[in-house]
């Protein structure tokens, strides 16, 4: 819990400081007087000001945001000798630069964070496939347990992208689904032999909402894992059947078990009429083949509420891992590429939610961010940097949306001013501000509801 809270506060603090520093730095460069640089809202808990004419730097009690207050005639009287330093007196392009600097600072930070994560290197699951779900696109395309996906190509392009890990494969799948494109895969066996090409016709999918149900329809799930048992809980169904850690499961009720994914599904789906009949397992234990009778216990699935089987043992070995690490130049290029891809993906997802093609359940709020911040921090520095980059991209893109109260809303006003030759009237500014507040409150309410629903297991 402490790690989660500290990681969340560090995440929010870094992103706010960078965002507001973008506004501050460009404002100073444009000759605008900055009165206050605040991290947080509400009551001031710490302040520093070098002189009465210098910028006041403050920390406020509510750390979920920040602001840069500039000299502006619309917010109070400005002395004649300082009129040239007032924000509202600046040429249009300077105001555009100052306002857009915050989101752009977040996007630039994301590039550097993604690059740093690749420079450090992370251990990720190798792109070895488990058995595809029955009747899925992957099964129909001929993918099999133990296949190694080496590269991919979206749409009709002949340009192949090398896949370094399972995470890369999932990222390519996500983008292809959202684009409604077929995904070609270059596949070999686990040793790298017998390469072949298969095509997943993702354009045939009716939904563009990337969800667990859709991924099951595609058929690519967890990475390949050997069907070997790990820890066996005392007094559980596995222990009572005589199963032990290290047992390799060969078959269940006469059906061969190719990987841990198949075994987990057989256990889950063993329930009939709210009861789990006994299953005959053939296992290899230190070179000896044993026949054991296992009767799973019945529990309700947290997600669907349907009855499923459990044996109270860890099923499967950890997947094979590969280290993904890049050099200085390649890491920077990859950081810029990933920042662009995530930005485009974020805009498309927001657009699909707006027209009803994607679920509003995809919106996340501070509780989910805090949870993921804690998890990534516990996994290591590179994972945390990657998470921080993802949130930084989201913050940058969201702030560029043309909504009043956001930087993108101000840029929308300036676009009108540039096209019409006159600023937006005070009456319309007030109306748009009220509308913007209503939209933001609605989005925050949905995001918070989704957070609570996830914590309660309702999503």
Q: Would you name the residues annotated as active-site residues?
A: 20
Q: Where are the alpha helices (DSSP H) in 142-254?
A: 166-179, 212-218, 237-241
What is the C-alpha to C-alpha distance for residues 85 and 221, in angstroms, rounded to an integer? Answer: 58
Judged by DSSP in three states, 301 sits in coil
Give DSSP secondary structure letters for 137-160: HHHHTT--TT-EEEEEEETT----
3-state SS string for 6-28: HHHHHHHHHHHHHHHHHHHHHHH
Instruction: Report the distance separating Cα 322 and Cα 150, nearest Å.
Output: 13
What does the block give as tokens for 313? 């043992």
End-to-end CA distance of the chain: 22
Q: Which of 236, 240, 232, 262 is nearest to 249 (CA)?
A: 262
Is 193 strand, coil or helix?
Answer: coil
DSSP single-letter state for residue 225: -
Which of these, 278, 267, 262, lies nearest to 301 by C-alpha position? 267
Residue 372 to residue 388: CA distance in whole angstroms: 10
Cα separation, 190 vs 150, in Å, equals 10
Q: How far apart are CA 173 and CA 196, in angstroms?
A: 18
C-beta separation of 372 from 4 below 8 A: no
Residue 305: is it exposed, middle or buried by C-beta count within 10 angstroms (0-12/13-18/19+)? exposed
How many helices and strands (H and E) does the chain possess?
12, 16
Cα 179 from Cα 3, distance rounded (Å) = 37
Q: What is the DSSP string of 429-454?
A: HHHHHHHHHHHHHHHHHHHHHHHHHH
Q: Is the dihedral of CA 417, 422, 426, 428 positive or negative?
A: negative
Comparing CA positions, the residue from 439, 368, 432 lying closest to residue 398 is 439
CA atoms within 13 A on the CB side of 345: 21
């Amino acid at each position: 819990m402490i790690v989660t809270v500290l990681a969340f506060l560090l995440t929010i603090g870094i992103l706010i400081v960078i965002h507001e520093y973008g506004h501050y730095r460009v404002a100073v460069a444009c000759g605008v007087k900055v009165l206050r640089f605040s991290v947080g809202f509400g009551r001031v808990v710490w302040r520093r000001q070098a002189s009465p004419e210098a910028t006041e730097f403050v920390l406020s009690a509510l750390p979920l945001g920040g602001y840069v207050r500039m000299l502006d005639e619309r917010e109070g009287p400005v002395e004649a000798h300082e009129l040239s330093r007032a924000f509202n007196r600046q040429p249009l392009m300077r105001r555009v630069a100052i306002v857009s600097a915050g989101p752009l600072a977040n996007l630039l930070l994301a590039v550097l964070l993604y690059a740093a994560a690749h420079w450090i290197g992370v251990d990720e699951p190798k792109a070895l496939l488990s058995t595809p779900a029955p009747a899925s696109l992957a099964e129909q395309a001929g993918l099999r347990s133990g296949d190694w996906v080496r590269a991919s190509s979206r749409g009709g392009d002949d340009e192949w992208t090398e896949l370094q890990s399972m995470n890369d494969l999932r990222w390519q799948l996500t983008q292809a689904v959202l684009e409604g494109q077929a995904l070609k895969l270059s596949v070999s066996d686990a040793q790298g032999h017998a390469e072949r090409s298969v095509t997943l016709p993702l354009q045939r999918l009716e939904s563009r909402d990337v969800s667990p149900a859709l991924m099951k329809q595609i058929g690519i799930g967890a990475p390949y894992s050997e069907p070997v048992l790990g820890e066996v809980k005392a007094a559980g169904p596995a222990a009572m059947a005589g199963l032990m850690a290290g047992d390799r499961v060969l078959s269940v009720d006469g059906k061969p078990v190719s990987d841990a994914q198949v075994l987990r599904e057989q256990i889950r789906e063993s329930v009939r009429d709210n009861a789990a009949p006994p299953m005959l397992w053939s296992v290899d234990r230190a070179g000896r083949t044993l026949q054991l009778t296992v009767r799973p216990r019945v529990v309700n699935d947290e997600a669907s509420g349907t009855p499923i089987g459990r044996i109270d043992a860890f099923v499967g070995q950890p997947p094979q891992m590969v280290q993904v690490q890049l050099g200085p130049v390649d890491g920077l290029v990859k950081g810029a590429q990933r920042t662009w891809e995530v930005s485009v993906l974020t805009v498309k997802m927001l657009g699909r939610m707006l027209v009803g093609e994607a679920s509003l359940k995809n919106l996340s709020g501070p509780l989910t961010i805090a949870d993921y911040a804690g998890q990534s921090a516990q996994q290591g520095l590179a994972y945390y940097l990657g998470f921080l980059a993802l949130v930084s991209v989201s913050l940058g893109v969201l702030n560029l949306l043309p909504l009043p109260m956001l930087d993108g809303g101000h840029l929308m006003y300036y676009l009108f001013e540039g096209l019409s030759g006159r600023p937006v009237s005070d009456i319309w500014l007030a109306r748009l501000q009220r509308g913007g507040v209503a939209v933001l409150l609605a989005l925050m309410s949905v995001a918070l509801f989704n957070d609570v629903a996830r914590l309660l297991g309702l999503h």
